[in-house]
Amino acid sequence: MSDINTVKGPDVRSDSAGLRKSKKDDDFRSPEEIAAEKKRGRVGQALVLPGFIFLLLFFAAPVVVMLAMSLYTKPPGADIGEFAPALQFSNYADAISQYWEPLLRSFGFAAIATILALLIGYPMAYLVAVRLRAHRLLSSILLVLLIAPFFSSFILRTQAWKQILADEGPVVSILRAIAILPPDGRLTASAVAVVAGLTYNFLPFMTLPIYASLERMDTRLIEASGDLYASPFTTFRKVTLPLSMPGVFAGTLLTFIPASGDYVNAAILGNNRDTTMIGQVIDSRFFRIVDYPTASALSAILMVAILILVMLYIRRFGTKDLF
């Protein structure tokens, strides 16, 4: 996933120059060189070890604990929140039969939001990275605005969205005036509002990787394509788009993964009946119903489903330098 680094901004470039150094010809090494290499290996291990142990304790182990907990059972007569270790695989069947709807909805909403973010984000990234490349100051300002949402509070923005989409708000009045919405039509507490919120909140995750890959592109390629009588559309399809694919790829993953697990948008902008997303279910199973096994099983299902989707996606569209 080396391309996630492109999120960080324009001055980040990845190449593997750092690695090439140690690839000396293996046949011509003196014992001293081999010993030095070993010593370097130990330094490397020492550098990685503290963080590695931290992640073992607080990422790997928790996932294992969660998987174990997803099989726990509630002994007869147990108090709320009291469970016994067991191998109750039926928890999974129960979780799926009860919550397949929010689960599918989460992936559906996330997929639509990802596609919309791509359609909205690509022109933005293209505008800043290619069209305005010669105007350094303007493109710098727009780049700052592009990352601006990262610096404002996610939940405050979502709440602001809710008020902008409210019945008496500007968006609804305009849509009613141009008859896209019926006179009594509304946007709040609807699937449309949730998807709009998801698209909005994860848009920067889509735009920045695309920006980073377009920014690296040599614009003379576009000129060359034009000189060879390609139409602007053909140039885009055959030159620009392929060159920006690593960014599109990283952007879609960075949008889809968090969007499918998000429940803030669904909770603030939805109506809790036909907009419930899986994150809300997991949250309420943990905290309101205090049913840890089902909550854990749902988390495990979400995690595995996403890993499978991501792997299929990588196999189908992935470029070699990712992952």
Partner 1 sequence: MKSNIGRWIIPILGGLAFVYLLVPIAYIFAFSFNDAGRTNLTWRGFTLENWQNPCGAPQICEALGNSLQVGIVATIVATILGTCIALGLVRYKFKFRNTADLLIILPLATPEVVLGASLLAQFLNLGWDLGFVTVVIAHIVFCMSFVVVTVRARVSGLDPRLEEAAGDLYASPLKTFWKVTFPLLLPGIVAAALLSFAMSFDDFIITNFNSGNFDTFPKFIYVAAARGIPAQANVIGSAMFIVALLIVVIGEVTRYRREKALTSK
d(CA 147, CA 9): 9
d(CA 196, CA 187): 10
Q: Which is nearer to partner 1, 90 or 163 (CB)?
A: 163
**Residue 291: helix, strand or coil by DSSP?**
coil
| Neighbour tally for 61: CB within 10 Å | 11
Smallest gap from residue 168 Cβ to partner 1 (A): 8
* Dihedral over Cα of 110, 111, 112, 113: its sign: positive
Residue 277-296 contact track with partner 1, rule CB under 8 A, x = bound: -xx--xx--x-----x--xx
248 contributes a contact to partner 1 by CB under 8 A: no
DSSP sequence for 151-205: GS-HHHHHHHHHHHTSTTSHHHHHHHHTTSS-TT---TTSHHHHHHHHHHHHHHH
Smallest gap from residue 7 Cβ to partner 1 (A): 8
Q: Which is nearer to partner 1, 99 or 126 (CB)?
A: 126
Q: Which is nearer to partner 1, 132 or 191 (CB)?
A: 132
Residue 124-163 contact track with partner 1, rule CB under 8 A, x = bound: x-xxx--x----x---x-xxxxxxxxxxxxxxxx-xxx-x
Smallest gap from residue 73 Cβ to partner 1 (A): 15
Q: Which is nearer to partner 1, 13 or 238 (CB)?
A: 13
**What is the chain's alpha carbon radius of gyration, rounded to the nearest angstrom?**
25
User: Considering all CA atoms of the chain, what is the largest pairwise distance in Å, rounded to the nearest integer?
Assistant: 84
d(CA 209, CA 215): 10
d(CA 160, CA 280): 20
Query: In 3-state terms, the chain is what percent helix, strand and coil (to 5)?
Result: 75, 0, 25
Q: Which is nearer to partner 1, 87 or 182 (CB)?
A: 87
Piece of 87-95, 222-230, 237-245, 306-314 that binds partner 1 (CB under 8 A) = 306-314
Window 24 to 43, contacts with partner 1 (CB under 8 A) = 37, 40-43
Window 175 to 234, contacts with partner 1 (CB under 8 A) = 200, 203-204, 232
Q: Which is nearer to partner 1, 182 or 273 (CB)?
A: 273
d(CA 190, CA 194): 7
Q: Which is nearer to partner 1, 12 or 87 (CB)?
A: 12
Q: Which is nearer to partner 1, 16 or 30 (CB)?
A: 16
Window 52 to 111, contacts with partner 1 (CB under 8 A) = 52, 54-56, 58-63, 65-66, 69
Smallest gap from residue 90 Cβ to partner 1 (A): 19
CA distances 89 to 32, 37, 92, Å, are 56, 49, 6
d(CA 126, CA 251): 14
Piece of 11-19, 27-35, 175-183, 185-193 that binds partner 1 (CB under 8 A) = 11-19
**Residue 262: helix, strand or coil by DSSP?**
coil
Piece of 172-180, 187-195, 241-249, 301-309 that binds partner 1 (CB under 8 A) = 301-309
* Count of chain residues binding partner 1 (CB under 8 A): 102
Q: Which is nearer to partner 1, 182 or 229 (CB)?
A: 229
